[in-house]
Chain A
């Protein structure tokens, strides 16, 4: 089922403008993630769609039906809360069946549906327990089960994995992805964890200060960020920003022309280069020279942090250029290296607005 949000805005009583005019069209069966830093309005957007907050402006439709002024219970959406919000005085089974029996289903039928969902999630043995007697991961599954058993038009999930430890989070992430691929229920998922967003989503909407910065599939978000905010927010370790110049349709840095980094116009430009697109070569042979100041091992790769030599004002906002190097490639701290760039993958941004200059 589709979800469509038009010019949605929310200003709280205290004047906080949490959401400032958001447009989103979510296709049937799509997994869309709202991603952004803390306080950017992700939860508020989700609560607006759920009907738990009233919008100051804008409209929400679910399956082409305008639900802007409809009670949360009549929107046919199910939410998974960060805190799980299980009914503490009810067993896992009762937690899952309440929404069904309220809707008029018989107890036996509801229990049957709950059991079926529980089997899917591997919690059929826990159904008689109350939330206090469940582990964090088990509660998470019950919360998920409570949402799933109702067969809603759409799932709304607010950082559902953030209270789990890393291993379990990865496990549940895979599980979520599997469930979504099996059932293809439209899902709006909130997280501030970019890895989670990139792994799970069909499309990612990056939010900042209550506005959408970019909506695109994970690969585009990563490779062709719409502006410097998205470029900076996505990717770990962070993207490098370099000061360069546009001349005759291509970018120049340190007097060298990157023929494949092309954009119209001329004048100063910001280059965005991911660490894996920085290439280490012999000194003197590449675009610039630098010295490896320190390294950070990331498992399969090592990040080398390089001080550029004889290239004042090259780096923007940072002191080092990060380069991702295969863990087997020998590098030495203090060594002098040549630094090149995979020009075809370099992003170019407007210096003033931060917007991308690449025409996709």
Chain B
């Protein structure tokens, strides 16, 4: 095609796909700095306007986005940390110590993720009320750990199965106990896998909407829910919504840029098993 070789064609295709994917993001980014009076203009403009930060101010002033950011960081951060601390030994037990031998149990673990959230969100709601922890960060942390853990164990198991068993055996012969084997051998060797698993766990909780919506009202509201409050029955505050969305997006962009080498390697490794 037009004198291109296959590689160039694939690159061109990739550029096109990326642009298609980015259009909504760019659109939101532009909206977040557009003055309110031209956001709703019938013919949208993408450049001829004076940029403004009013939406970024508004989202903090009117929608308490500072609290939402704080809640998101705490619930997602703490739950991800707990998940990873529990998942590593669990995945090790599954991959190496003969616990839950075979793939059947892995499927059981994974199938916990197949459950549609709406089915179980109401019982969670009831239980939270009984326990008196509705609208608390603890509640969301518990929920995110419960949902994140099986998935993290499943991904990590794949990475651990890829590690050469003999290296651990060499460690045993060198006199390392199993805790030392985990910390001195497995942890460093599985670093790419751990990075990927951490990111996945973080991202899933970070973007989680349904449970946060049902299980919080104001005190423990996270960013996805706070964003939704910019939409009321009368109108949509496009500017605030876009500004909030950009803030929500920010950590993802940072993480991916910082760790893209690990992610690519980790994904490639994980794909082998």
Residues of A within 8 A of B (CB): 50-52, 71-74, 77-79, 81, 83, 85-89, 98-99, 102-103, 146, 150
Among A74, A79, A103, contact of B170 (Cβ-Cβ < 8 Å): A79
Residues of B within 8 A of A (CB): 164, 166-167, 169-177, 180, 184-185, 188-189
Interface centre among B167, B173, B176, B189 (most CB of A within 10 A): B173
Enumerate chain A residues within 8 angstroms of B177, measured Cβ to Cβ.
73
Q: Find out whether the CB atom of B175 lies under 8 angstroms from the CB atom of A102.
A: yes
Cα A79 to Cα B166 in complex, Å, equals: 10
Q: Find out whether the CB atom of B189 lies under 8 angstroms from the CB atom of A88.
A: yes
Task: Known A52-B169, A81-B166, A102-B180; judge A89-B188 contact (CB<8 A).
Answer: yes
Q: Find out whether the CB atom of B175 lies under 8 angstroms from the CB atom of A74.
A: yes
Q: Find out whether the CB atom of A102 lies under 8 angstroms from the CB atom of B167.
A: no
Among A71, A86, A99, A150, contact of B167 (Cβ-Cβ < 8 Å): A86
Enumerate chain A residues within 8 angstroms of B172, measured Cβ to Cβ.
51-52, 71-73
Enumerate chain B residues within 8 angstroms of A103, measured Cβ to Cβ.
175
A83 to chain B, nearest CB (A): 5
B123 to chain A, nearest CB (A): 40
Q: Find out whether the CB atom of B185 lies under 8 angstroms from the CB atom of A87.
A: yes
Q: Find out whether the CB atom of A73 lies under 8 angstroms from the CB atom of B173.
A: yes
Tell me the nearest residue of chain A to B167, going by C-beta. A85
Enumerate chain B residues within 8 angstroms of A72, measured Cβ to Cβ.
169, 172-173
Report 20 cross-chain contacts, Cβ distance below 8 Å, ordered by A residue: A50-B173, A51-B173, A71-B172, A73-B172, A73-B173, A74-B175, A77-B173, A81-B169, A83-B166, A85-B167, A85-B169, A85-B170, A89-B188, A98-B174, A98-B184, A102-B175, A102-B176, A102-B180, A103-B175, A146-B170
B254 to chain A, nearest CB (A): 26
Cα A79 to Cα B185 in complex, Å, equals: 17
Enumerate chain A residues within 8 angstroms of B189, measured Cβ to Cβ.
88-89
Q: Find out whether the CB atom of B176 lies under 8 angstroms from the CB atom of A87.
A: no
Among B166, B176, B180, contact of A85 (Cβ-Cβ < 8 Å): B166
Q: Find out whether the CB atom of B174 lies under 8 angstroms from the CB atom of A102.
A: yes
Cα A98 to Cα B171 in complex, Å, equals: 9
Cα A73 to Cα B174 in complex, Å, equals: 6
A360 to chain B, nearest CB (A): 38
Enumerate chain A residues within 8 angstroms of B175, measured Cβ to Cβ.
73-74, 99, 102-103
Cα A78 to Cα B174 in complex, Å, equals: 8
A243 to chain B, nearest CB (A): 47
Enumerate chain B residues within 8 angstroms of A88, measured Cβ to Cβ.
167, 189
Cα A85 to Cα B166 in complex, Å, equals: 5
Cα A264 to Cα B192 in complex, Å, equals: 70
Interface centre among B169, B175, B177 (most CB of A within 10 A): B175
Q: Find out whether the CB atom of B167 lies under 8 angstroms from the CB atom of A79.
A: no
Enumerate chain B residues within 8 angstroms of A73, measured Cβ to Cβ.
172-177
Task: Known A88-B189, A89-B189, A102-B175; judge A81-B180 contact (CB<8 A).
Answer: no
Cα A71 to Cα B171 in complex, Å, equals: 12
Cα A52 to Cα B170 in complex, Å, equals: 10
Tell me the nearest residue of chain A to B191, going by C-beta. A89
B167 to chain A, nearest CB (A): 5
Cα A77 to Cα B171 in complex, Å, equals: 12
B165 to chain A, nearest CB (A): 9
Enumerate chain B residues within 8 angstroms of A81, measured Cβ to Cβ.
166, 169-170
Cα A74 to Cα B170 in complex, Å, equals: 13
For the complex with contacts A79-B169, A81-B166, 8 further pairs of A-B residues with Cβ separation under 8 Å are: A73-B173, A73-B174, A81-B169, A85-B167, A86-B170, A87-B167, A98-B184, A99-B175
Cα A89 to Cα B191 in complex, Å, equals: 10
Enumerate chain A residues within 8 angstroms of B188, measured Cβ to Cβ.
89
